[in-house]
Chain A
Amino acid sequence: MKRSTLLGWVIFAFGATYFILPLLATFEFSLRMLRGQYSFEAYSVVFGDAQFRATFLYSAVLALVTIVLGALVVVPTAYLVRLRLPHLRGLVEFVTLLPLVVPAIVIVFGYLRLYNSSSWLPLTGSDAATNALLAFGYVTLALPYMYRTVDTGMRAIDVKTLTEAAESLGASWSTIMLKVILPNVRSAVLAGAFLTFAIVIGEFTFASLLNRPAFGPYLQLMGANRAYEPSALAIIAFLVTWACMGLIQIFGRKRGAITVP
């Protein structure tokens, strides 16, 4: 084996150990709920907890709403920026990156100040409105990931020419969007969607400060009061995230080109 190859494997092993060891330790700890034996008791307790099911379902539904809203905002925006407003590209990229720079706690305090029950738009005045506010907040939070994946997807196709080809065949803007653009950036939108799902499912700050029964605050609550269940929840959360990443890989895979002589 070449020296450089060996060094590569050593570095890889070190990195893998660094990331996998804590996970293995957490997993091992989560199996030790029953004294003196390994079992999935902690998982059984977690899955049997009605609050777990309720909070997970709440976050999952909110994640789906966030994905739909995000796609409705991001896909037309990225399309218009590519097609008609390329000079605004830098500005739009800057705006979409802001949620990475501005901490979530600052955003949520801004929301509370703007939309409190005595403001002109009291979105925190009712459960339904607060849920909507949380979904809007999550759209903001997921914006950098959603915009980047969709924009990259659009870069891979010739948006302008495809639009013009469809127009010359009589297609309206809505038809072009639904039948030409969206199907061709589907894998990019799905990649953004899975990233959004992974972010929303474990989000704590927004949900906690807006007092919503989401999975993030539930994780925190369990972590503060139980010993083994938080480890099981951590592993479950990892698995959900990894499943999302795996789905990104599957949907993001390009079709192989076949050349016909």
Chain B
Amino acid sequence: MYFLEIHNIQKSFGDHVAVHNFDFAAYRGEFVSLLGPSGCGKTTVLRMVAGFERQTAGTVSLDGKDISQLPANQRNVGMVFQAYALFPNLTVAQNIAFGLKIAKRPAGEIAVRVREMLDLIKLPALGDRYPFQLSGGQQQRVALARALAVKPKMLLLDEPLSALDAKIRVALRDEIRSVQRELGITTLFVTHDQEEALSISDRIVVMSAGRIEQIGTPFEIYNRPRTRFVASFVGVLNLLEGRITDPTSGRIEVDGRELVVAGGFPKGQAGDAATLALRPEAITIGSGGEGANHLDGHVEDVGFQGSVVRIRVRCNDRMISLDSFNSRAAPPPERGTPVTLSFSHDVQVLEPA
């Protein structure tokens, strides 16, 4: 039984269709990220769930109840904004208590809940501060506490980490996830940062131009991108275009070399074009032994990234990136060195665009 059901919602602004037939459901307690570039419609979907935008078509149900026509203030959905949106005239404690006061909870209960929330976000001593006296990270934690204080059915996070610097972003990301797990609250998280989505989510909905490109776990999205867009948007990917020579045995010709794809090309025929997708970490330098695919090229560039070294190799007209772990015993090859690249037959084949 799904907890959140978004059934075929659409949103148009005049002639422009921002969201096309968005169909998705999430389980209770699930952490789902809406991932995509700016303008792909992910925030619009979130705002339709929150009630800030009214869908042109379709329905939104929460805990089995259709909330599509309810105003935002009756949906009982907590929201955290990119710009924090703390009330500047209220202290931290008053901000957290705001929703509880609206709900006319007794003063004693409000005080206890505010204390709980301050402890939850690890800011127990800052209740009397005003928002302008807090750092960005602290403000966002207070915004999270304020959204959770009213015990909402669901939590919506609209790029809550985008305005923070890198180190705080990672720390707060982990904190959000740990709070979400602790409370078991169903969460929809909007981000354009693929690393953020991959590290925090139970499932990811990748969106492009108002449509869902793929729904899957971070593992599936990263390792089995279904479309060219997902492949290019999530992580670094090498795309090898070629022509199928034998669909049954999975043989394909790329730059005059025959490669083998495990599982073959069930939807393809000999002579059809096909695109293979390879992550940088799936490729190694060296012959790789029997049963591996091979490509020859020259090292064009070596980028040192700390624990990982990214090597770019030119194979005919295409550039292939591969990652290898940094090792003091084996320094990376020099620029211009001829190398053989190898990778296994377990290669992702992209569906035609």
- Report A's interface with B, CB cutoff 8 A: 157-158, 161-162, 164-172, 175, 179-180, 183-184, 186, 255, 257-261
Can you give 11 contacting A-B residue pairs, CB < 8 Å?
Answer: A161-B81, A164-B50, A164-B52, A164-B85, A168-B147, A169-B102, A169-B146, A170-B76, A170-B102, A170-B103, A184-B88
Task: Tell me whether B150 and A161 are in contact (CB under 8 A).
Answer: no
- A158 — nearest CB in chain B belongs to which residue? B83
Within the complex, what minimum Cβ distance (angstroms) separates B260 from chain A? 54
Within the complex, what minimum Cβ distance (angstroms) separates A97 from chain B? 29
Within the complex, what minimum Cβ distance (angstroms) separates A160 from chain B? 9
Task: Tell me whether B89 and A164 are in contact (CB under 8 A).
Answer: no
Which residues does chain A contribute within 8 Å of B74, judged by CB atoms?
Answer: 170
Which residues does chain A contribute within 8 Å of B75, judged by CB atoms?
Answer: 168
With an 8 A cutoff between CB atoms, is B135 at the interface? yes
Within the complex, what minimum Cβ distance (angstroms) separates B43 from chain A? 12
Which residues does chain B contribute within 8 Å of A165, judged by CB atoms?
Answer: 79, 81, 85-87, 143, 146
Task: Tell me whether B102 and A175 are in contact (CB under 8 A).
Answer: yes
With an 8 A cutoff between CB atoms, is B269 at the interface? no
A184-B73 in contact given A161-B83, A164-B52, A168-B78 (Cβ < 8 Å): no
Task: Tell me whether B87 and A170 are in contact (CB under 8 A).
Answer: no
Within the complex, what minimum Cβ distance (angstroms) separates B90 from chain A? 8
Within the complex, what minimum Cβ distance (angstroms) separates B62 from chain A? 14
Query: For the complex, what is the distance from the CA of A165 to the CA of B90, rounded to whole Å?
Result: 14
Task: Tell me whether A166 and B98 are in contact (CB under 8 A).
Answer: yes
Task: Tell me whether A171 and B102 are in contact (CB under 8 A).
Answer: yes
Within the complex, what minimum Cβ distance (angstroms) separates A178 from chain B? 12
Task: Tell me whether A158 and B85 are in contact (CB under 8 A).
Answer: yes
Which residues does chain B contribute within 8 Å of A162, judged by CB atoms?
Answer: 85, 87
Which residues does chain B contribute within 8 Å of A175, judged by CB atoms?
Answer: 102
Task: Tell me whether B150 and A169 are in contact (CB under 8 A).
Answer: yes
Which residues does chain A contribute within 8 Å of B51, judged by CB atoms?
Answer: 167
- A165 — nearest CB in chain B belongs to which residue? B85
Within the complex, what minimum Cβ distance (angstroms) separates B217 from chain A? 29
Task: Tell me whether B85 and A183 are in contact (CB under 8 A).
Answer: no
Identify which of A170, A186, A255, A261 contacts B73 (C-beta below 8 A). A170
Which residues does chain B contribute within 8 Å of A166, judged by CB atoms?
Answer: 87, 98
Identify which of B73, B89, B138 contacts A168 (C-beta below 8 A). B73
Which residues does chain A contribute within 8 Å of B83, judged by CB atoms?
Answer: 158, 161
Which residues does chain A contribute within 8 Å of B147, judged by CB atoms?
Answer: 168-169
A164-B79 in contact given A258-B132, A260-B138, A261-B135 (Cβ < 8 Å): yes
Which residues does chain B contribute within 8 Å of A171, judged by CB atoms?
Answer: 73, 98-99, 102
Task: Tell me whether B133 and A260 are in contact (CB under 8 A).
Answer: yes
With an 8 A cutoff between CB atoms, is B134 at the interface? yes
- A168 — nearest CB in chain B belongs to which residue? B79
Task: Tell me whether A167 and B72 are in contact (CB under 8 A).
Answer: yes
Query: For the complex, what is the distance from the CA of A164 to the CA of B156, rounded to whole Å?
Result: 12
With an 8 A cutoff between CB atoms, is B278 at the interface? no
A260-B134 in contact given A168-B147, A170-B76 (Cβ < 8 Å): yes
* Best-surrounded residue of B133, B138, B143, B150 (most CB of chain A within 10 A): B133
Within the complex, what minimum Cβ distance (angstroms) separates A251 from chain B? 14
7 more contacts with CB within 8 A, not counting A164-B52, A164-B81, are A158-B83, A165-B85, A166-B98, A168-B147, A170-B103, A259-B135, A260-B133
Identify which of A169, A186, A259 contacts B98 (C-beta below 8 A). A169
- B156 — nearest CB in chain A belongs to which residue? A168
Which residues does chain A contribute within 8 Å of B73, judged by CB atoms?
Answer: 167-172
Identify which of A168, A259, A260, A261 contacts B50 (C-beta below 8 A). A168
Query: For the complex, what is the distance from the CA of A176 to the CA of B83, rounded to whole Å?
Result: 18
Query: For the complex, what is the distance from the CA of A168 to the CA of B234, rounded to whole Å?
Result: 31
- A254 — nearest CB in chain B belongs to which residue? B132
- B103 — nearest CB in chain A belongs to which residue? A170
Task: Tell me whether A168 and B72 are in contact (CB under 8 A).
Answer: yes
With an 8 A cutoff between CB atoms, is B77 at the interface? yes
Which residues does chain A contribute within 8 Å of B146, judged by CB atoms?
Answer: 165, 169
